[in-house]
């Protein structure tokens, strides 16, 4: 990365930012992706730039839900394609799921670039270039989906989704797993499982968890999910922000 040394206290955050900028330069990420990244950085700072206990609990539930799914699909937008393309492809392989390119400001050129990137990383099936179904309740451009992909999925893993589309997927009866650093966003409140963590930490964690849980049987996976309460986990993640901030505040008083 440019000239920032790994010892720099904000190295990981700056590296992530550069990847999004690179995504924009390559035509993979839309300009709005930069604004989303900026909001994400601010919120990540508030949670302490680490996977919190509530984030880890959501990741465990997400891994169980993906392993139990009959037709899981992983959705990839412009920011996910810039930040975690290899990890999305690896997770898809581990749970035998297809990927679908699903971007907010859709242009056919950008969809193709993301699909080409995922194929170059060795993914089998990528949906999204030829959408042939419509998600009810959304305007035309955002409603596009693929049969055999998101449209027919029982579980959709959709990091960084927008609130409307998340709600529309839930209204179709799907289980939706999102990654969103804002525990108060509509996406966070609407999803079945919300991982309040940075996508660059959440994906490696999920890959490790699906590997670790691959030998669990259906009833063991179901018992992981039975104890999971997304609203309670979101409340705890807000409490974790408050307690992290009060620690920072006390440091100012010394
Ligand atoms: P909603 O429609 O759900 O209320 P929003 O309109 O507030 O969402 P957007 O601008 O669509 O939000 O997307 C930005 C969201 O993505 C922010 O909540 C931000 O925290 C989250 N985000 C951005 N970058 C990351 C990241 N690297 N990891 C996890 N979350 C991220």
Domain regions of the chain by residue span: 1-217+228-254
Per-residue pLDDT at 16: 93
Residue pair 147/133 in contact by the 8 Å Cβ criterion: yes
Per-residue pLDDT at 105: 86
Per-residue pLDDT at 141: 80
C-beta of 198 in contact with ligand 1 (< 6 A):
yes
Residue 17 CA from chain centroid, whole number: 16
Residue pair 224/211 in contact by the 8 Å Cβ criterion: no
d(CA 212, CA 4) in angstroms, rounded, equals: 35
Contacts of 120 (CB under 8 A, 6+ apart): none
Q: How many helices (H) and strands (E) does the chain have?
A: 12, 8
d(CA 97, CA 80) in angstroms, rounded, equals: 17
Q: How many CB atoms lie within 10 A of CB 138?
A: 17
Per-residue pLDDT at 2: 67
Residue spans of beta strands (DSSP E) within 52-121? 72-76, 99-101
Per-residue pLDDT at 254: 63
How would you class 172 by CB atoms within 10 Å of its CB: exposed for 0-12, middle for 13-18, buried for 19 or more?
middle
Q: What φ, ψ does residue 144 adopt, rounded to 5°? A: -65, 135
Per-residue pLDDT at 87: 98
Taking 50 as the pLDDT cut, the residues of the chain under it are none
C-beta of 191 in contact with ligand 1 (< 6 A):
no
The pick from 78, 162, 177 for probing ligand 1's pocket by mutation, whose C-beta has the most ligand atoms within 8 angstroms, reads 162
The pick from 24, 31, 41, 43 for probing ligand 1's pocket by mutation, whose C-beta has the most ligand atoms within 8 angstroms, reads 43
Residue pair 27/113 in contact by the 8 Å Cβ criterion: yes
Per-residue pLDDT at 252: 80
**Where does 1-217+228-254 sit in CATH, by number?**
3.40.50.12640
d(CA 217, CA 180) in angstroms, rounded, equals: 29
Two tokens, residue 129:
């270039």
pLDDT, tens only, 67-89: 999 999 999 999 999 999 999 99
Residue pair 43/181 in contact by the 8 Å Cβ criterion: yes
Return the residue whose CA atom lies nearest to atom 19 of ligand 1. Answer: 40
Residue 75 DSSP SS3: strand
């Amino acid at each position: 990365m440019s000239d920032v040394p790994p010892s720099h206290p904000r190295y990981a955050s700056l590296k992530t930012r550069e990847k999004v900028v690179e995504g924009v330069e390559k035509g993979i990420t839309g300009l709005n992706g930069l604004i989303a990244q900026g909001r994400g950085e601010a919120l990540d700072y508030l949670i302490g730039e680490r996977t919190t206990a509530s984030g880890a609990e959501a990741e465990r539930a997400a891994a169980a839900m993906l392993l139990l799914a009959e037709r899981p699909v992983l959705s990839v937008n412009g920011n996910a394609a810039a930040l975690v393309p290899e990890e999305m492809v690896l997770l898809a392989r581990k749970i035998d799921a297809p990927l679908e390119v699903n971007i907010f400001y859709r242009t056919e050129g950008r969809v193709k670039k993301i699909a080409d990137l995922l194929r170059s990383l060795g993914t089998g099936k990528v949906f999204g270039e030829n959408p042939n179904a419509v998600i009810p309740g959304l305007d035309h451009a955002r409603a596009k989906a693929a049969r055999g992909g998101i449209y027919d999925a029982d579980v959709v893993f959709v990091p960084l989704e927008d609130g409307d589309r998340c709600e529309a997927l839930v209204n179709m009866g799907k289980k939706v797993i999102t990654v969103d650093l804002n525990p108060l966003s509509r996406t966070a409140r609407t999803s079945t499982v919300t991982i309040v963590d940075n996508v660059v930490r959440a994906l490696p964690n999920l890959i490790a968890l699906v590997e670790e849980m691959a030998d669990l049987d259906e009833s063991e996976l179901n018992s992981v999910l039975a104890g999971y309460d997304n609203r309670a986990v979101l409340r705890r993640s807000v409490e974790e922000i408050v307690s992290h901030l009060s620690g920072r505040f006390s440091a100012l008083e010394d």
